[in-house]
Structure 1
């Protein structure tokens, strides 16, 4: 039995060791990541009177994700002591945030951007790399299903708490202390990640000579491209996140157009709260549908709810529909994490997780950039476009994922397919 599992006396059920510490680690790290999207812009505005530098710094912070993700995943998968890699990356993440709290709006712009690029290079560990530890800490089956649902809930909880904490602290004083708080959260994650029971995550004596780093990078990209389930969920979630990246700007415009100048934040909070509730609900009630079907249902439900919100002018009804959209969006992340864990080879799991997360973040950044020139269009039309992207992603996932075989062997195949359901 691996070192990271404990067997209760008198029973055969295995329980994850350290899962609570992992969830605390992930929450603190993601709190820092989610808060930075708001904090760095507020800090630049406070110190320079313009949000332009904040936008440049945020772009530099996000840009390395897609480039660094495969490299980070390959390095993590090759290390015999991965806790050193995780601790180092989270420590670098915290250091960069603390440095930005001091130099943003004060140091020359190239220096600030260089620090943001360095910190953003550690981002794939937070956005995707940490989730690979769930497969180490939880056994396959219902325990891992629930662990991934809780991991998704942590993502959504951080997306609510991070911007909220920054806004409250900035309102009480200035954005500088808020950014330092985020640095402290990342430092806390770096300290906690060292205490996790990793066990043996790599074989002690490989039967074959280890591959080169370049070969590992190529293998990680190839497994996503060649595995139908991974290819389908990656393509679908990237398409959906082009819309999600444009959602914040669109909700602000939608609320302003309907006479609610401060309503954009309320709508985004409603969406995030719904996503948190949806992820928790999947973890608690575990719907008996295959995980691939769950992803398609989540994308379709999010799209339909956002489309309805675009057509309903009443503020209360619109907010309720944003909650509903979030309720569907929460299970999508759970399904995505499960599909990656189920279909990625163990030695390439870190690459698959970090690459998938990096591509999603890059897609969201593209969506945020694309909506800028389109702000002259009516906000309901923009929201309908975002909804259409979710529905298109659901269709893409349905067409791209493999079909179960039919014929005499279908019942046996269906039984095997049910193993990937969220029980």
Structure 2
């Protein structure tokens, strides 16, 4: 086969698509594969959760969630530094192959705990594939279109969050958990194909490499980034808040819905629905470079949505408040991704994003614990607290930002 001719044909098709798109075609291919894989992840996770519930395993659901959280927290710095040392494309393809094999094996075995262990292996490989994907996106999108690409990806992930659980519930009742695990494995093969198509070997050199990368490089890059560093605490508070609500809200929202499962399901969908326009609007050219405003504005939307939803236990009020919270979530996520892509050197993008994954998973795990029902506070109180925490941090960060800018304005006017 004439690989050069094939490559030219593929890039000819990409060029034709690029003329009609705001985002280059290779980036669209990579985004599409990522979204397909995210739906597959939803199938596998929810399938295992439903399997644990059907078997009456008290700690089964927790085990599934921990299998996704712990590998990222522990291994992210090591894997992130690997992504920065070698070709991001090669790391991504190998990691996706491991994920596909792990999920395929999980589909072929019967033991619940063995399946969870294989999911944990896939989660470890997932740290590498996600970090590598983050590193490759600016290369295939180009600096001019990276912001828009992040916007489309974030909006698409929210849409996948709507489609995945509903599809998983349907397929689980028809085909069982093994089918869902196998489907997730296939989704990683699809993403690998999209990655190989969108990122040809010829662009490997342009993806920053750092052979002497250290484990601390990722955290150092995040701390010293002009926008992300000062806002890390606020971002952590927002992640903690949403995970607290994710657990406590199950009990609180079911009470508000008077046990109506349809209304409860709509509550959950409303948040993801609101994040789609938030992500798309945050990617507009008029917001390019306004990372601080996007992150702080997004966190304020999240906090006000959660706080007021706890203070107003009425379905008619919670729907628009969750739309507001979801809108803020989409805005914040796009602002964060753009800030890291813009302000962190390309040679440490892999380490930085892997370390951010570790930070987010740590906050999520802590939030799950704090959101667990207890005898000290009600689930409604926990939801109120989940909104108050990021609100305090967001207002504090906003005040600090304004104070830092005032001297600069004074000097300029003088």
Q: Say yes or no: TM over 0.5.
A: yes
Where do 1:40-189 residues align within 5 Å? 40-46=48-54, 48-80=55-87, 82-103=88-109, 106-107=110-111, 109=113, 111-125=114-128, 127-141=130-144, 143-189=145-191
**Alignment partner, residue 228 of structure 2:** 230
Q: Is the 8 A contact 1:34 1:159 kept in 2?
A: yes
RMSD: 3.1
Q: Is the 8 A contact 1:275 1:323 kept in 2?
A: yes
Q: Secondary structure at the match of 2:197?
A: coil
The answer to whether the aligner puts 1:16 opposite 2:35 as a matched pair is no
In 1, distance between residues paired with 2:252 and 2:391? 20
In 1, distance between residues paired with 2:280 and 2:411? 36
Query: How many aligned positions are there?
Result: 395
- Structure 1 residues 370 and 85: CA distance shift in structure 2, 3 A: same
**Alignment partner, residue 306 of structure 1:** 306
Where do 1:331-410 residues align within 5 Å? 331-374=331-374, 377-395=377-395, 397-398=397-398, 403-404=404-405, 406-407=408-409, 410=412
* Deviation readout 1:197-249 (Å, 9 max, x if unpaired): 3553446999xxx644xx43222222223334232343322221111112222
* Deviation readout 1:283-336 (Å, 9 max, x if unpaired): 357447822111111111221122222222331331222112111211110000
- Structure 1 residues 290 and 205: CA distance shift in structure 2, 3 A: closer
In 2, distance between residues paired with 1:294 and 1:204? 27
Q: What TM-score, normalized by structure 2, do the two folds share?
A: 0.84
Q: Which runs of 5+ in 2 are unaligned?
A: 1-7
Q: Is the 8 A contact 1:233 1:336 kept in 2?
A: no
Q: Is the 8 A contact 2:277 2:330 kept in 1?
A: yes
In 1, distance between residues paired with 2:332 and 2:375? 28
Question: Which stretch has the larger CA shift, 130-139 or 347-356?
Answer: 130-139
In 1, distance between residues paired with 2:236 and 2:319? 25
Equivalent position to 1:255, from 242, 253, 256: 253
**Alignment partner, residue 5 of structure 2:** none
**Alignment partner, residue 37 of structure 2:** 29
Q: What TM-score, normalized by structure 1, do the two folds share?
A: 0.83
Where do 1:198-213 residues align within 5 Å? 199-202=202-205, 211-212=211-212
In 2, distance between residues paired with 1:72 and 1:50? 32
Where do 1:284-299 residues align within 5 Å? 284=284, 286-287=286-287, 290-299=290-299
Q: Is the 8 A contact 1:74 1:217 kept in 2?
A: yes
- Structure 1 residues 120 and 99: CA distance shift in structure 2, 3 A: same
- Structure 1 residues 294 and 193: CA distance shift in structure 2, 3 A: same
- Structure 1 residues 348 and 129: CA distance shift in structure 2, 3 A: same
Q: Which runs of 5+ in 1 are unaligned?
A: 412-423
In 2, distance between residues paired with 1:361 and 1:377? 24
In 2, distance between residues paired with 1:128 and 1:358? 11
| Structure with greater proportional helix content | 2
- Structure 1 residues 363 and 300: CA distance shift in structure 2, 3 A: same
